[in-house]
Structure 1
Amino acid sequence: MSTVHDRGASSPQLLRRTNRQAVLQHALRAASFTAADAMAATSLTRATVLGVCAELVEAGWLHEVAGDRTEGAVQRGRPARHYALRSDAAVIVGVDAGQHTLTAQAVDLRGRELAAARCAVAGELDGHDLEEGAAPAEARVETVHALIEQVLEQAAAGDRRRLLTVVGVPAPVDSRGYSPTGDQGYWPAMNPGLVDALDGTVIVENDANLAVIAEHALAAASGAPTGPDAAAASGSAHMATLLMGERFGAGLLVDGRLLRGADGGAGEMRFLDVVFGDSRGADGVAALARRWTLEALARGETTSPLAAVAAADLSAVDVFAAARDGDDLARSVLDRIGERLARIAAILSSLLGVERVVVAGAITSAIEPVLERARTALPEISTPPYPQLVASTLGRDVVVRGAIELALTRLREDPLDLLAPDV
């Protein structure tokens, strides 16, 4: 049987690191384990496993735990030592740095929530703000930093190392964590160099990409297949997640792989301006509900109770509530949104072969009437096969959940890089 130390190690230091990596990866998968368990998983010798475990216990990443005993069993010889990851030894932070609302969550090394916090972004970005740039960017960095410190304090993380912070932003993000200087200054305003401005190891990612990561992980946790044959069962290997707040943004998973594109722009929906002949074609559900309602009222459709709501205060929540109460104007607006959603889903299905489109965001609990119209409209505008249209069950936490999932994936893939980078 081949062993880990046979895999091309060229020095004792590299060999030691490789062996530690293998044991840590096993510890992250197992609730607890014995030396025999680790030997079977890593092909290391017993002496090597015990030596590595002793080193990791001393470093604070593993600890010995009581082993399970079968009732009535006779214990012969020395009982086997059981080890487990010290999940409380460090903290991972996920952040959804949205345009209007920021959400942060701290979890342990198993992904269990320790603390969460949410805050509104002070002020609104306008054209002048975007041109000036420096002041709103500095304020945004300070707000994100303060929210992270808040959840760390709530998690009593003072004695724990913060391993990794993953931040989702409503802008395309390249592989280094930077956003291009486009969209009339909106993108750099949403991501003002957060990868450099925040403390510790930081990953910045597009929010829709994190949303599709969260949905894919949820499908895997539910037992749905996620490999090459997953499409037939759930479409989880070929899926899109549409964030549908102020703007439409898409996270795209094809053949089980996240699509990024140049500068991280694969999921940007600016092409909708051309498709719909609308300079605001990428407006999301919240923006469309407000805009189309106000336009209808301006045309004189004043029988709606929505006319009693001040234009500055009108929200998508008001429109959805009015539709639920049977208001004709609100229902027509929701029908129009459903038809637009159907066209977007048809484009994604035809162009990329996605079989499942998950709509996500804070308003998903009320989105079913829109989805019903979209499902009805698909055969009217497209040809089979039609993508499955479903609402996310993760609500407004979908991006922060994706941030945590990405962080945990990085930890499982290369734990030594985060837990003990100098070893």
Structure 2
Amino acid sequence: MTSTAVVSSSQVLRRANAAAVLHTAWDGVPFTASDVIATTGLTRSTVLGLCDDLATSGWIIELADARSAGAYSKGRPARRYAFNAAAGYVVGVDAGWHRVTASVADLAGAEHGTAERVLSEQQTDPALRRTTVLATVEEALEHAGVSPEAVLVLVAGVPAPTDARGASPANHDFWTRMNPGLGDVLAHPGRTVVVENDANLAAVAEGAVGAGRGLTSFGVLLSGERFGSGLIVDGELLRGRTGGAGELRLLDLVEGVGGPEGLGYVARDMVREAVSAGTVPRDSALLRAGREGPDAEHVFAAALNGDAVATEIVARLADRLARVCAVIATMLDLERIVVAGAIAPASEPVVTQATTLLEEYTHPPFPTIVASELGADVVRTGALHRALALVRANPLSFTLPITTPPRQ
């Protein structure tokens, strides 16, 4: 074996050992060399040397020794360390159809700044969308007091399928307008940028901190303007050839559904039809929803208060939702479908009825339908979790910037 190979092998081993030490430290609890030795089996001299290296590079910080901290009073005081959550930052973006939000979090997942901008249905110009997304990220960084150079990973969710490069199929006008080269727009030296389908990121969020936690096979259904699904099967996110595994254009072929329009869109459409037909009583709460008319939340609330028209609409929406969930859950043998997005917190009346109807459209063991508790933040939450996971999976591949703690 040549000396070059020996050096290379030694470097690889040291890097692997450093990563093991860093993973031990990641939960933020102060630790000593003895703690790391017990976890990794490395020698004391190796651990102390690696801790010095990690402290120099900024991944961990050295604390007051164990005697100063009151841990013990006899013998040589043990050196204590802790993970440096401010070593770098991640950004999660929800670049939705009508709303763009961005949050900045440290490496422990604590959020330090958020920004939001709204786009109307008429504002679909790709250049405007690129400018809006970038401005939202910059505003979030400013609120957090974090420089662009401190961002290790940025993950953005878009309402379009994406491939491994973050590109959306070019043969679909809506998808290209929703993802007009955002990966290039958000790029920055030293930063990893991932553009991902929004429903996939919603599934990441639900699996990490939501209604999918602890499950190995479940689906997340974004159900506002259009249905889109993120699918976790046997613990793995399904993507497909171009990232379109969760696209639901097949709903055009499903009896009683007829298209991918979501609960929010269909609820508004049903109310408009009822008003035009003159079947909405003058004293109905549906006619007191303001200039823009009732949205899905108004319909759900009115149904809970006994409004007859709203109750009928909820029943029709529940049947539609049950059919959609039956297709997804039966095809992939899923345990649960999570209805997610901004509409989710108000959708309980629809979800409850759809769960009962699902037993008519599926077979035992019956899947369940639940409403997400993550609300409008589900995609952004998933983006942050995905970004943190990318850092944690291979932290030493990142070069840390010189950072200062964020403003509190």
Is TM (by shorter chain) over 0.5? yes
Cα distance in 1, alignment partners of residues 210 and 42 from structure 2: 33
Q: Determine whether 1:237 maps to 2:216.
A: yes
Structure 2 residue runs of 5 or longer lacking an equivalent are 1-5, 402-408
Aligned pair 1:327/2:307, yes or no? Answer: yes
Distance 1:48 1:378, change over 3 A: same
The answer on 1:94 being equivalent to 2:74 is no
> Equivalent residue of 1:271, what SS?
helix
* Residues 144-159 of structure 1: pairs in structure 2 closer than 5 A: 144-158=133-147
Q: Distance in 2 between matches of 1:67 and 1:18?
A: 26
Conserved 8 A contact 1:94-1:104: yes
Residue 47 and residue 65 in structure 1: after superposition, are their counterparts in 2 closer, same or farther (change >3 A)? same
User: Does 2:391 align with 1:405?
Assistant: no
**Equivalent pair of 2:162/2:244 in contact (CA under 8 Å):** yes
Q: For 1:31-180, what aligned pairs fall within 5 Å after superposition?
A: 31-66=29-64, 75-122=73-120, 124=122, 136-158=125-147, 161-180=150-169
**Alpha-carbon deviation of 1:195?**
1.3
Per-residue CA shift, 1:363-383, capped at 9, x if unaligned?
222111101210221223332
Distance 1:25 1:74 in 2: 26
Q: Give, in angstroms, the shift of residue 40 of structure 1.
A: 2.8
Summarize the Cα distance change of 1:91–1:18 in structure 2 as closer, same or farther, 3 Å threshold.
same
Q: 1:68 to 1:254 in 2, by over 3 A?
A: farther
Q: Which residue in 2 is equivalent to 1:204?
A: 195
How far apart are the structure 1 equivalents of 2:291 and 2:331?
A: 38
Q: Could you say what secondary structure the match of 1:246 adopts? A: coil
C-alpha deviation, 1:46, in angstroms: 1.8
For the structure 1 residues 384 and 81, does the alpha-carbon distance in structure 2 shift closer, same or farther, using more than 3 Å as the test? same
Query: Matched residues, percent identical?
Result: 47
CA–CA separation in structure 1 for the residues paired with 2:311 and 2:331: 30
Change (3 A) 1:39 1:71: closer
2:340 maps to 1:360: yes
What is the Cα deviation at residue 197 of structure 1?
A: 1.5
RMSD: 2.6
One-letter amino acid of the structure 1 residue matched with residue 201 of structure 2 = L
Query: Once the 2 structures are TM-superposed, how far is the Cα of residue 395 of structure 1 from its aligned partner?
Result: 1.0
Query: Partner of 2:405 in structure 1?
Result: none
Distance 1:160 1:179 in 2: 27
Alignment of 1:300 onto 2:289 = no
Question: Which residues of 2 match residues 336-355 of structure 1 at below 5 A?
Answer: 336-355=316-335
Q: CA deviation at 1:325?
A: 2.9
Q: Distance in 2 between matches of 1:208 and 1:416?
A: 30
Task: Name 1:287's counterpart in structure 2.
Answer: 265
- Aligned partner (choices 365, 369, 377) of residue 389 of structure 1: 369
Alpha-carbon spacing, 1:303–1:26, altered in 2? closer, same or farther (3 Å)? same
Tell me which amino acid in the other structure corresponds to 1:287.
Y
Label 1:114 to 1:73 Cα distance change in 2 as closer, same or farther (>3 A).
Answer: closer
SS where residue 263 of structure 1 aligns?
Answer: coil
Closer/same/farther in 2, CA of residues 344 and 190 from structure 1, 3 Å limit: same
Contact 1:241 1:251 in 2 (8 A): yes
> What's the offset of the Cα at 1:307?
4.9
In structure 2, the CA distance between the partners of 1:70 and 1:356, relative to structure 1 (3 Å rule), is farther
CA separation of 1:310 and 1:366: change in aligned 2, threshold 3 A: closer
Structure 2 Cα separation of the partners of residues 394 and 123 of structure 1: 24
TM (normalized to structure 1)?
A: 0.85
Q: Which moved more, 1:54-63 or 1:91-100?
A: 54-63
Moved more, 193-202 or 68-77: 68-77
Unaligned runs of 5+ in 1: 1-7, 130-135, 227-235
**In 1, distance between residues paired with 2:7 and 2:109?**
32
Once the two structures are TM-superposed, the CA of residue 402 in structure 1 deviates from its matched residue by 0.5
**What is the SS of the residue equivalent to 2:355?**
helix
CA deviation map 1:174-214 (0-9, x unaligned): 1111111244x011111111112113321111111111111
* Alignment-mate amino acid for residue 298 of structure 2: D
TM-score normalised according to structure 2 size? 0.88
Per-residue displacement from partner, 1:61-118 (whole Å, max 9, x unpaired)? 2111235669997533211111111112221110111000111111111001111122
Secondary structure in structure 1 of the residue aligned to 2:239: coil
Please give the alpha-carbon distance, in whole angstroms, between the structure 2 residues aligned to 1:22 and 1:9: 20
Does the 8 A contact of 1:240 with 1:357 survive in 2?
Answer: yes
Q: CA deviation at 1:416?
A: 1.0
Name the CA distance, whole Å, in 2 between partners of 1:72 and 1:164: 38
| Equivalent pairs, count | 391
Matches of 1:259 and 1:23, distance apart in 2: 32
TM-superposed CA distance for 1:310, in Å, is 7.8
Instruction: Confirm or deny: 8 A CA contact 2:267 2:295 kept in the other structure.
Output: yes
Q: C-alpha separation between the residues in 2 aligned to 1:159 and 1:141?
A: 17
